[in-house]
Amino acid sequence: MSPVSTAQHSALTVTDLVKQYRVTSQGRVGVLTAVGGVDLHVSAGETLALVGESGSGKSTVAKCITRLTEPTSGTVQLGDLDLTSLPKRSLWKAYRDIQMVFQDPSSSLNPRMTTRAIIEEPLRLHSGLNRAERETRIRRLLADVRLDDKLLDRYPRQLSGGQRQRIGIARALAIEPSVLLLDEPTASLDVSVRGQVLGLLRRVQRERNLGYLLISHDLEAVRKVADRVAVMYLGKVVEQGAAAQVFENPAHPYTRALLSSAMTAEYGRTTERFRLSGEIPSPMSLPPGCRLAPRCPLARLSCSLSQPETITISPGHLSACPVTAGQEQETSSPPLCGSDS
């Protein structure tokens, strides 16, 4: 699914990313396709959210972008730099421009390092600043994430989950990257702290014009924070577009199922659930056509026979379901730009 190119300079572009694993299961060797050809782009100052359930491949996409896991094929372009073709030993330099905030604040910080040491490490490796300059920078970063200086000499075990996550963010911002990968940044935090951390991330983004790739299963947070959304199912992006559009007019059946199942803390809201039958199948035995077809109430015969084409619902809003797009064409007003039916 190729996104419509935008006028803005793309900070991060992912093209046809594929990740396959060779797996031996019960004596048989098979291929597990965790990511089956994904196209994404993130512009400076915008947040693209990647949502999906287990087996969707969203975390694998993040790992492949940073090459913490090597992708099987595809390209990742960071600004002008082609990350995927860099030799491994040059990778560490590229990490100046893209950083990651990890999910679990208790295990993403080295328990034996003080706050200062944790934030200082990237500065020592990349910045070329001397000790005093580093110290200044560290204090400024701490202020940016609204933490007190006196935490500099503490160890992670002495801090709360929210504080640890802020340190993780400070570390990621230390060498001033242009893109941040946020892998479920609030999932392990208490509910009352999540809003603060999300607010912090938003402010930092505005101040530094960062591009964010946010991986999350918290649809409410995504709705509030994301500019664009890409929905993944079993390794493929099934729908992509502006957050407002995708949430108000979900085109793909999977998106509809996902959104209608999400429960908000609002009393009395009853949404008619769009149901999928069965459960998410194992990524090892993928159906030949549309991956959702076996579970989809709207599936037609053609769905199981071949990969569905990508339909443009409206500029920037793409869906991999010709069936629902066909229905939309009939009922709604003429689309804004050319699209197939």
Partner 1 sequence: MNTEPVLTITGYSGTFPAPDGGRLSVLEDISFSIAPNAITAVVGETGSGKTLTALSMIGLTPPAFRRTGGSILFAGQDLTQLDERAFRRIRGSRIAMAFQDSRSALNPVFTIGTQLGDVYRLHRQAGKKQARTMAAEMLERVRVPEPRQRLSQYPHELSGGTVQRIQLAMALACRPSLLILDEPTTGLDVTIQADILELIVELTREENMSVCMITHDLGAVAATCDQVVVMRDGAVRETGSCEQVMTRPADSYTRELLAASRAELSAS
Partner 2 sequence: MTTLASAQPRLRRLTLTGRSAALKLGAVVVGLFAVMAVVSAFWTPYPPLAAATGPFSASPSAQHLFGTDTTGGDIFSRALAATHTDVGITVAVVGLSLVAGTVWGALIGFYGGWADRLSLRILQVMNAFPSILLAMLVISVFGRSLVDVILVVVLIPLPDYVRLARAEVMTKKHWQFAEAARMTGRRPAGVLFRHLVPNSTRPLLAYAGINASWVIATVGALGFLGLGIQPGSAEWGSMIAGGESGIVDGQWWMSFFPGAFIFVLAAAFHLIGDGLSDDGLTRRGQ
The residue ranges that bind partner 1 (CB under 8 A) are 53-54, 146, 190-200, 202-203, 217-221, 223-225, 257-258, 261-269, 273, 276, 278-280
CB 320 within 8 A of CB 241: no
> Is 116 near partner 2 (CB under 8 A)?
no
Least Å distance, CB 104 to partner 2, is 6
Q: Which does 169 bind (CB under 5 to 8 A by kind): partner 1, partner 2, none?
A: none
User: CA–CA separation, 288 vs 250, rounded Å?
Assistant: 24
User: CA–CA separation, 70 vs 78, rounded Å?
Assistant: 16
Tokens of 193: 């702290």
Q: Which does 112 bind (CB under 5 to 8 A by kind): partner 2, partner 1, none?
A: partner 2
Q: Which does 199 bind (CB under 5 to 8 A by kind): partner 1, partner 2, none?
A: partner 1
Give alpha helix (H) positions in the chain: 58-65, 91-94, 115-126, 131-144, 161-173, 191-208, 219-225, 243-248, 253-261, 301-305, 322-331
Residue 200 three-state SS: helix
Q: Which stretch binds partner 2 (CB under 8 A): 120-128, 133-141, 142-150, 326-334?
A: 120-128
User: CA–CA separation, 315 vs 248, rounded Å?
Assistant: 15
Q: Which is nearer to partner 2, 107 or 332 (CB)?
A: 107
Tokens of 283: 């990524």
At 198, which helix (H) or strand (E)? helix 191-208
Question: Going by DSSP bridges, is the β-strand pair 236-242/311-314 parallel, antiparallel, or unpaired?
Answer: unpaired
Residue 155 three-state SS: coil
Q: Which does 190 bind (CB under 5 to 8 A by kind): partner 2, partner 1, none?
A: partner 1
Q: Which stretch binds partner 2 (CB under 8 A): 25-33, 51-59, 119-127, 295-303?
A: 119-127
Q: Which residues of 329-340 are buried (b: 16+ CB within 10 A; e: fewer)?
A: eeeeeebeeebe
Q: What is the DSSP string of 281-318?
A: PPTTS--SS-TTGGG-TT--HHHHHSPPPPEEEETTEE
Q: Tell which positions 67-96 bind partner 2, by CB under 8 A.
A: 68, 89, 92-93, 95-96
- For partner 2, which residue of 52, 74, 122, 253 counts as binding (CB under 8 A)? 122
Q: Which does 18 bind (CB under 5 to 8 A by kind): partner 1, partner 2, none?
A: none
Q: Tell which positions 130-149 bind partner 2, by CB under 8 A.
A: none
Q: Tell which positions 309-328 bind partner 2, by CB under 8 A.
A: none
> Is 107 near partner 2 (CB under 8 A)?
yes
List residues near partner 2 by CB under 8 A.
66, 68, 89, 92-93, 95-96, 99-100, 102-104, 106-112, 121-122, 125-126, 157-158, 168, 171-172
